[in-house]
Amino acid sequence: MSAILKLKGVSKAYGTQQVLKPISFEVGEGERICILGPSGCGKSTLLQLVAGLARIDEGEIEMNGVVVERGNHYVPPENRPINMVFQDYALWPHMSIRQNIEYGMKRRKVPKGDMENRLRRLQSLLKLDGLLERLPAQLSGGQQQRVGIARALATEPRLLLMDEPLSNLDVKLRTDMRSELAGLLGDLSIATLYVTHDRMEAFTIADRILVLREGGIDQIGSPSELFERPATPWVAQLMGYHNRLKVRFGDAADSVVLAAGRPVEGVRMTPGAYAGAGVMMLHPESIFVCEGSVSDGGNRLEAKAIRAIYEGTRWRLIVETADGQPLHLFHDERVEPDARLTLRLPAQSVMLYADPARSADG
């Protein structure tokens, strides 16, 4: 797979704020990459650098094997093989839908016949029948966003940049559009860099997810790689590992790890030998209440029930370990406060990390 986009050590600061640390990654032909991270972590900045709407400080950007920015060499946005879809649609309010879609093609001097063909194709692809002569204000939010996508696709970019394109839609429409968009991008097999702060959106759209935290890449991988082997406690948290327990690593590389005074087995995610304080991350769904004295393998941990919250299809139990650390888990029945429970934690779903305060990438 040849790369449509290559970033090598690209960084960006605004004033004294280092918004992006040196970042390197590639987008392959037809590949959809989602940039996932909380508000303010630098997602939009990264997209703007790729688009050429902001200048990079260091490093190099390559598109289709051609360097578009390095040092003083800089190719402006209109000459990069890209197009962009924004969160707020950014349609021209005084132009009809047809004029909005034709605008970019006219600027790029696409011949009239080609323009008509593309317009017809996009009209059916994005379900815009009967809307072309209207003004943007006469369309619903979902329709406007479809026009935004049609307009971006009309110039036949090699790389589509999308910055939270669904975040202005209401929840129901967003969920529908999410799968519709995933299908559309899959059918078009157009390389896409898609910014979102929503994990489910990233899971639906992405071939690979790039997790951005404070301007640095914590992990890049397929949704299942991230979900099953989160590289840092932070990625784990993002992937729904909402339980965090303090643990203690022994001195040898394969030594016993203690959680709440009990030995636990798990997946060691911090490379190399490690001794001292650490954390273990665990999904609420991966903790089970032991019934009776079955010996079905896995770690055992004693806990005391604090509260049971009815959630309709199940109860959420909040319990406390012997050393007073809280854990959340799900159970199919209510448990009285102060009840003593034995919990089973399957070793393959226990993620173990060195102390994030002392390792570089916590």
45 binds, among Mg ion, ligand ADP, none (CB under 5 to 8 A by kind): ligand ADP
- Rounded Cα–Cα distance for residues 106 and 143 (Å): 23
Q: How far is the CB of 43 from ligand ADP (least distance, A)?
A: 3
Residues in Cβ contact with 38 at an 8 Å cutoff, skipping those fewer than 6 apart = 197, 213
Tell me which H or E stretch contains 301.
Answer: strand 299-310
- CB of residue 19 to ligand ADP, shortest distance in Å: 4
346, two tokens: 């399957």
CB of 43 to Mg ion, least distance (A): 5
d(CA 113, CA 277): 68
Task: Determine, following the binding rule CB under 6 A, whether residue 19 of this chain makes contact with ligand ADP.
Answer: yes
Q: Of 303, 342, 346, which Cα lies nearest the Cα of 326?
A: 303
Residue 190's binding partner among ligand ADP, Mg ion, none (Cβ under 5 to 8 angstroms by kind) is none
100 binds ligand ADP (CB under 6 A): no
Residue 270 in the binding site for Mg ion (CB under 5 A): no
Of the residues 45, 143, 232, 270, which one makes contact with ligand ADP according to CB under 6 A: 45
Shortest Å, Cβ 42 to Mg ion: 9
Answer left, alpha or beta for residue 297, where phi above 0 means left and psi between -120 and 50 means alpha.
left
Judge contact between 260 and 326, C-beta under 8 A: no
Q: Which stretch binds ligand ADP (CB under 6 A): 42-50, 66-74, 122-130, 252-260?
A: 42-50
Q: Judge whether 194 and 6 are in contact, CB under 8 Å.
A: no
Handedness of CA 243, 249, 254, 257 (dihedral sign): negative
Q: Of all helices (H) and strands (E), which one includes residue 106?
A: helix 97-107
Rule CB under 6 A: say whether 43 interacts with ligand ADP: yes
* 88 binds ligand ADP per the rule CB under 6 A: no
Binding flag, residue 41, ligand ADP (CB under 6 A):
yes
Interacting partner of 40 out of Mg ion, ligand ADP, none (Cβ under 5 to 8 A depending on kind): ligand ADP
Q: Which helix (H) or strand (E) holds 174?
A: helix 171-188
| Complex with Mg ion: residue 44 or 123, whichever CB lies closer | 44
- The neighbouring-strand residues paired with 320 are 304, 326
Cα 104 to Cα 106: distance, rounded to the nearest angstrom: 5
How far is C-alpha 188 from the chain's CA centre? Answer: 21
243 makes contact, choosing from Mg ion, ligand ADP, none, with CB < 5 to 8 Å by partner type, with none
Smallest separation (angstroms) from Mg ion to the CB of 299: 40
Binding mask 156-175 for ligand ADP (x = CB under 6 A): --------------------
**What angle is formed at CA 211 by the lines to CA 206 and CA 217, rounded to 5 degrees?**
130
Contact code string over 31-70 relative to Mg ion, x by CB under 5 A: -------------x--------------------------
Which one of residues 33, 34, 42, 63 is an interface residue with ligand ADP (CB under 6 A)? 42
44 binds ligand ADP (CB under 6 A): yes
Which chain residues interact with Mg ion by CB under 5 A? 44
Catalog residues that contact ligand ADP under the rule CB under 6 A. 14, 19, 37, 39-45
